[in-house]
Structure formats: C-alpha cells, structure tokens
Structure 1
C-alpha cells in the first residue's frame, strides 16, 4: 500500500503564520501609526490590540495567499521581491486601513497612514516573506511558495 508523504499539520501552519504576522507587524505598525499617521500613543495601543486580534484569523489565509502568488515567482531576487510585495500589499493594506480608521485615524491622517503602510509593505514584502519562511522553519514546516501548504495541510 502506498503511503502519502507526511503533510504539515494544519494547526502548526496556523500557529507559525500567526506568530510571524504578529511579531513582524506589531513592530512596523507602531512605527507607521505613531510617526507617519501621527496617531497618539493611546490610538497606537488601540490599533495594535485590534491589529493583533485581527491578525489571528487572517494570518493563515494570508500565508496561503502568499504561497499561491509566490508560485509565480522565479528564483531570481527581483521576481521574489516583486511577488512578495504584491502579496503583502494586495492582502494587508485594505485590512490595515480599516484598523487605523476604527482606531481613530481620519481624513489626512487616514490617507497618510494607509499610503505609508502601502509604501512600507512594498519594501517589507520580501523581508516579511523571508521572516515568515524562517518562522515556518522553526515550526518544522517547509517554506512557502515552492511547495504551497494548502488549507488541509
């Protein structure tokens, strides 16, 4: 009888992707909210708490989205940078805009914060992708993009 290769556990992938997203984007979120959007420290705290709560249900879907898009990337550095950035901006910027709007950013601050996040995510796409793959390695999972983990993994 042929056995299927051992697939990563679904919960392990969930915890790895969630850990990576919370660690990486709590730090970058604080920088953007305080120094680019001009939010008060109370608003930043509210945004980070809300952000952490929202990262839990979206981290794994983002990981799956990123893995799916990264299959289009070649092994070249520029291609991986481009596809990681596209994945991050297209998935996370709309969520981020809602978080800071709900946390008190409005008008020019909301626009600056959203544009600031979009620019940051363009530049942070590949560093975050590498960080995510590193966290996945720590959890004993394969990196994403080459052999994507599916919903039933």
Structure 2
C-alpha cells in the first residue's frame, strides 16, 4: 500500500471537495435532526447550522482522511463498506456534533436525544455520505477515498 504524502493529503482540490461534501450533506441532515428529533427552535437550529458550517471547514479534510484510513479496512462486500463508512462517521463526527448542539443551547434531555439522534443518523447515513463524498471528489477530479491515495497526479 502506497502512503499519501502531506502535500498530496492537503491538496487544495481535496480540501475543497471534502469541505463541499460535508457542508452540503450535514447542513441538511443536522437541521432535520435538530428541529424534528431534538426539538430545537428554528432560531437555535440556525445558530447550530452556522456554527456547524464554520466547524466543518477545518474538520472536513481531516475527516475525509480519517474515513480513507478506515475504508482501507473495507472489503469489496457491501456490508463491509457500510460498516466502515458508518464507523468512521460516528467516531469522528458525533463528538463534534455533541459540542455544537450543547454550545447552541441544547441541554439535559434535549442534548441526550440530540446526540442519540445524531448517532442514529450517522449510522444510517455513513454509507450514503461516503458515496456522496466519493461523488463530490469525482467532480473535483479526485479518486474515491479508501482505495488509493488522494493525489493530483492520479
């Protein structure tokens, strides 16, 4: 297995692709969770989504790299890709999401249900998000993650 150099990992197209995918996908799913599962007001949802978007910019590429690392463990079987995509999403994003909604006003029962809701959403959306991320990466002329290093030369 070939290693990705820092220059390849932090290329501008990789950063833009991963950031675009994360902001689009999780602005929608986060808002739905916050409003209809957590029970936050639309004002709190707006605040959470703005904060969430600001936090997505610095974490999108590290998450993409984390996912790529875990996806190297996936086999060609569908269940394996689902398992590793979901594991990557839950382990990286749920702690960040918990901090976002806590800072945005969720507490007690609302915070617990928000975290549980996010965990369920991330378990269910792990593979759809992984496929969406690969699709966005392709639009930026990049290979899918987890199969080979991200590089502008490939």
Normalising by structure 2, what TM-score? 0.91
Unaligned runs of 5+ in 1: 1-6
Report whether the alignment pairs 1:69 with 2:70.
Answer: yes
Q: Where do 1:65-104 residues align within 5 Å?
A: 65-104=66-105
Structure 2 Cα separation of the partners of residues 89 and 79 of structure 1:
15
Aligned partner of 2:120 in structure 1 is 119
| Cα shift at 1:148 | 3.2
Aligned partner of 1:15 in structure 2 is 16
Cα pair 2:70 2:146 within 8 Å, conserved: yes
Aligned partner of 2:36 in structure 1 is 35
CA-based RMSD: 1.5
Structure 2 Cα separation of the partners of residues 96 and 9 of structure 1:
24
Structure 1 Cα separation of the partners of residues 117 and 145 of structure 2:
27
Aligned partner of 1:142 in structure 2 is 143
Give every structure 1 segment of 4 or more consecutive aligned residues whose post-TM-superposition deviation is greater than 2 Å: none
Q: Where do 1:38-49 residues align within 5 Å?
A: 38-49=39-50
Structure 1 Cα separation of the partners of residues 41 and 150 of structure 2:
39
Unaligned runs of 5+ in 2: 1-7
Cα pair 1:8 1:141 within 8 Å, conserved: no
> For the structure 1 residues 118 and 76, does the alpha-carbon distance in structure 2 shift closer, same or farther, using more than 3 Å as the test?
same
Cα pair 1:67 1:149 within 8 Å, conserved: no
1:61-100 per-residue CA deviation (whole Å, 9 max, x = no partner) reads: 0000000000000010000000000000000000000000
Normalising by structure 1, what TM-score? 0.92
Cα pair 1:89 1:121 within 8 Å, conserved: yes
| Cα shift at 1:149 | 2.7
Q: Secondary structure at the match of 1:147?
A: coil
